[in-house]
Amino acid sequence: MKQRAPTFAIVCSDHGTAYGEDGHYGHRLGHEVVWTVPYADFML
């Protein structure tokens, strides 16, 4: 592992999906859970 250069990774999506929040299902609607983009960053 010491021979490999540090790597920065970003994992994200284009949008979220509603799974029954406030009675909404899917991703083609204007709800906060759809607007929230799943995102993570970390060093490897």
1-44 pLDDT per residue, tens: 467 788 899 998 888 889 999 999 998 888 998 888 878 898 87
* DSSP alpha helix (H) spans, the chain: 32-35
To the question of pTM greater than 0.75 for the whole model, the response is no
Contact 8, 43 (CB under 8 A): yes
